Amino acid sequence: MSFSKVVSEATQALFDKLPHQIQQVIQLPAVRKGLAFLAAWKTLSVINSYLSHQAQNNWVRLGPWDPSQELVVLTGGCSGIGKQILEDLTKLNVKVIILDVQDPKFELPSNAYFYRADITSSSVVKEVGNQIRKEHGNPTILINNAGVGFRDPILDASEERIRLTMEVNTLSHYWTVKEFLPAMVQKNHGHVITVASLASFVGFGEIAPYASSKAAALAFHESLTQELRHWYKAEKVRTSVIHPFWVHTPLIGDMVKVGKHLGAPILSPKDVSSAVVKQIVSQTGGQIIIPSKLSPASFMRSLPNWLQERERDKGSLQFVKLRELRTALATQKAAAE
């Protein structure tokens, strides 16, 4: 019996079990066309997801994931998203090494280690890399999570803040990848995860350095993926890029209010960590947008320019309102004093 005949008979069997009134509605020409369209759309969606998954993973499946064989280097693991990733991975019995400029203000799990390191310095990253290899071996997973962000109009932004944002959010990726990727390529085993942002796709006023750095992080991920595939032939080394919307951490402060004004969901560090850990455990590379309902953001630049500008205006005007609110509150406080 052919596959199509089996599907046809199964569909008919389900149809026969429906109430008579519903059967009559389904038999209406307009309803049948609508159902046919939905079925075709769902089929295309499944096919598209399959092809995307395979293409992003070089059409190569990996064996079962073994946490005992992995060594994770996590930048910015002492607070926010990084701290949550640390907690979630160590619970899976994965050894995790934190690189951060601030000391952890919590007790490290027995399978976690901390190295103070300024990842904006290539020489510091090289030095700490040598120390890690000497004491723990070669890392197999690199999570470039550390990030900073400030809110200033371009003309008000200090050179120090601009440079720090670009160096932490983008340039540090070069130094960590150059340090830890060669061993992954040699063994044809590993995973490089880039924590970017929805700001990779759209820039609002007051966050030019942040948006620029995250757009650059996305481009870095894409180029790295290509080089692993075609230059190094390391088809089993995975690459993932994570694009969360605003996450409720100290990093973004009152930017959370912008998300609420826009009616957008505010994520928790757990939301982002869950996505990162899922990529690691499934040994799957790809692009992940959180929450998934904001996935159309990746098509932002394919929209007509007038629609793009309207979306940027909506976000920017919320920042303007917040600035006005902060100014008014500061004036009231000064008057009260």
Active site residue: 214, 260, 270, 293, which one?
A: 214
What per-residue confidence (pLDDT) applies to 258?
Answer: 53
What per-residue confidence (pLDDT) applies to 31?
Answer: 57
Q: How far apart are CA 95 and CA 71, in angstroms?
A: 5
Side chain identity at 277, as an amino acid letter? V
Active site residue: 5, 33, 50, 210, which one?
A: 210
Least confident of 69-73, 191-195, 303-307, 328-332: 328-332
115 in catalytic set: no
Number of residues that make up the chain: 337
pLDDT tens profile 325-334: 777 767 777 7
Domain boundaries, the chain: 1-38, 67-299
First to last CA, the chain: 86
DSSP annotation of 267 reads B
Among the residues of the chain, which ranges form H helices?
3-16, 20-26, 29-56, 80-90, 122-136, 159-166, 172-187, 208-226, 255-261, 269-282, 305-336
Q: How far apart are CA 182 and CA 185, in angstroms?
A: 5
210 in catalytic set: yes
Query: Hey, how many other C-beta atoms are within 10 angstroms of the C-beta on 166?
Result: 18
Q: Which architecture does CATH list for 67-299?
A: 3-Layer(aba) Sandwich (3.40)
pLDDT tens profile 124-176: 999 999 999 999 999 999 999 999 999 899 999 999 999 999 999 999 999 99
